[in-house]
């Protein structure tokens, strides 16, 4: 993929920045990542979201939503989200230009959407990933005004996530008490699957981003899940389940591709295959993240 850039700094792209609770150095900001690079990373995601809603809401009309059984007002609300994402694109582009920096342009995308249901489901995923991206990206921002702007966008992305998951999908509006802060490479791995190609000039404005090998995980908390990944499996690998800001939960992979999924996981959980039984970062990540979307009811039970 054109957008892929060489690996320069392990710290730059620490897998998820989830080890705060271990008081490790994982949240230390890489001073080599500049604010314009972080803003361009955010802009890359905003371009993707803006294109997704623009395309989806021109693919499907208000009448299509009504025919598919959605209440009338859903379409208008999704239009408001589309407009927010377009405004975020405009805002970040202007902020970068005002700072004398190049702003990345939109890429071409390929969204796996075949009907309204898959559109709504992907909207929920993209908003959730956007929220984890801003949460994880905050540590890389130096300028306080940019940090305030990023926080301002983050809460709106978080509310988009909540509204789609609860008002449309009738699930939980949140995951746990904490949003998971994913690192740059982890987010980029998730975003890259929807990106077909990007303008040549974009890469020079971005931090070093290297997607990990892909991973899928089928299964539910409290059961044995099945992993699929293409990286070499030497029989001594683990799965790190990242959720919130505590240390991830590690489980050994057994029977070649099986893992016992901890029973207490809820909401969006990010699973990584690792070579380590206790550290999740670029140097230990073998594949992932896979998103485990654990729906739960008002009593906290998995549904
Ligand atoms: C950061 O940049 C400095 C100076 O350009 C360089 O010496 C150093 O190796 C870089 N650090 C990382 C982690 O890339
Ligand atoms: C829009 O429709 C096209 C053609 O069916 C499809 O390829 C694309 O994925 C759809 N995109 C969205 C976001 O709905
Ligand atoms: C894993 O392998 C062992 C020994 O071959 C077998 O007894 C067990 O049922 C397998 N477990 C799963 C979850 O496949
Ligand atoms: C297995 O592979 C991982 C990642 O490639 C590596 O870090 C680890 O040292 C290997 N372990 C053994 C026992 O070969
Ligand atoms: C992984 O680490 C846990 C404690 O952190 C330990 O109990 C467990 O035995 C380790 N598993 C393997 C396979 O090394």
Domain extents in the chain: 35-205, 215-294
| pLDDT tops 50 at residue 39 | yes
238 CA distance to ligand 4 centroid (A)? 10
Q: Residue 32 has what pLDDT?
A: 82
| CATH number, span 215-294 | 2.60.40
Q: Residue 31 has what pLDDT?
A: 60
Q: 128: which strand partners?
A: none
Say which ligand is closest to the CA of 251.
5
User: Residue 128 — very low, low, confident or very high, per pLDDT cuts 50/70/90?
Assistant: very high
Query: What HEC string does the chain produce?
Result: CCCCCCCCCCHHHCCECCHHHHCCHHHCCCCCCCHHHHHHHHHHHHHHHHHHHHHHHHHCCHHHHHHCCCCCHHHHHHHHHHHHHHHHHHHHHHHHHHCCCCCCCCCEECCCCCCHHHHHHHHHHHHHHHHHHHHHHHHHCCCHHHHHHHHHHHHHHHHHHHHHHHHHCCCCCCCCCCCCCECHHHHHHHHHCCEEECCHHHHHHCCCCCCCCCEEEECCCCCEEEEEECCCCCCCCEEEEECCCCCCEEEEEECCCEEECCCCCCEEEEEEEECCCCCCCCCCEEEEEEEEEECECCCCCEC
CATH topology of domain 35-205: Ferritin (1.20.1260)
Say which ligand is closest to the CA of 6.
1
Q: Mean pLDDT over all residues of the chain?
A: 91
User: Residue 71 — very low, low, confident or very high, per pLDDT cuts 50/70/90?
Assistant: very high
- Which residue puts its alpha carbon closest to atom 13 of ligand 4? 236
- 113: tokens are 């959407």
| pLDDT tops 50 at residue 72 | yes
Structure confidence by residue, pLDDT tens digits, 240-263: 999 999 999 999 999 999 999 999
Pocket test of ligand 5: the residue of 249, 277, 284 to mutate, having most ligand atoms within 8 Å of its CB, is: 277
Ligand 1 closest atom vs CA 32? 1
Residue with more model confidence, 73 or 28: 73
**Average pLDDT over every residue of 126-142:** 96
| pLDDT tops 50 at residue 152 | yes
User: Residue 8 — very low, low, confident or very high, per pLDDT cuts 50/70/90?
Assistant: very low
- Which residue puts its alpha carbon closest to atom 3 of ligand 5? 277
Residues with Cβ within 8 Å of 97's Cβ and at least 6 positions away in sequence, in order, are 103
Cβ contact 229:214 at 8 Å:
yes
Structure confidence by residue, pLDDT tens digits, 257-278: 999 999 999 999 999 999 999 9
Ligand 2 touching residue 53 (CB < 6 A): no
**Residue 224 phi/psi, 5° resolution?**
-90, 120
Question: What global pTM score does this model have?
Answer: 0.89
Ligand 1 closest atom vs CA 11? 13
Q: Residue 21 has what pLDDT?
A: 37
Question: Could you tell me what percent of the chain has a pLDDT over 90?
Answer: 88
Ligand 5 touching residue 254 (CB < 6 A): no
| pLDDT tops 70 at residue 18 | no
Residue with more model confidence, 26 or 58: 58
């Amino acid at each position: 993929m054109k957008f892929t850039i060489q690996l320069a700094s392990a710290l730059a792209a620490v897998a998820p920045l989830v080890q705060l609770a271990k008081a490790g150095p994982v949240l230390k900001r890489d001073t080599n990542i500049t604010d314009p690079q972080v803003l361009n990373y955010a802009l890359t995601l905003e371009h993707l979201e803006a294109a997704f809603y623009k395309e989806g809401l021109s693919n499907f009309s208000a009448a299509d939503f009504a025919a598919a059984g959605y209440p009338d007002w859903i379409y208008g609300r999704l239009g408001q989200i589309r407009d927010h994402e377009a405004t975020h694109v405009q805002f970040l582009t202007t902020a970068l230009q005002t700072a004398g920096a190049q702003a990345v342009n939109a890429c071409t995308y390929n969204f796996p959407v075949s009907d309204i249901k898959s559109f709504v489901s992907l909207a929920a995923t993209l908003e959730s990933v956007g929220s984890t991206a801003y949460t994880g990206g905050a540590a890389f921002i130096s300028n306080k005004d940019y940090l305030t702007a990023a926080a301002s966008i983050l809460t709106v992305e978080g509310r988009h996530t909540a509204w789609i998951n609860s008002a449309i999908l009738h699930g939980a509006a949140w995951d746990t008490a904490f949003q998971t802060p994913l690192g740059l490479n982890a987010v980029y791995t998730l975003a890259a699957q929807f990106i077909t190609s990007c303008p040549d000039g974009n890469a020079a404005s971005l931090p070093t981003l290297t997607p990990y090998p892909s991973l899928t995980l089928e299964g539910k908390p409290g059961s044995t899940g099945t992993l699929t990944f293409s990286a070499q499996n030497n029989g001594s690998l683990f799965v790190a389940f990242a959720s919130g800001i505590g240390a991830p939960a590690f489980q050994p992979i057994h029977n070649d591709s099986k893992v016992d999924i901890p029973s207490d996981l809820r909401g969006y959980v990010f699973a990584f295959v690792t070579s380590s039984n206790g550290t999740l970062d670029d140097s230990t990540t073998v594949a992932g993240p896979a998103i485990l979307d654990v729906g739960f009811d008002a009593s906290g039970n998995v549904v």
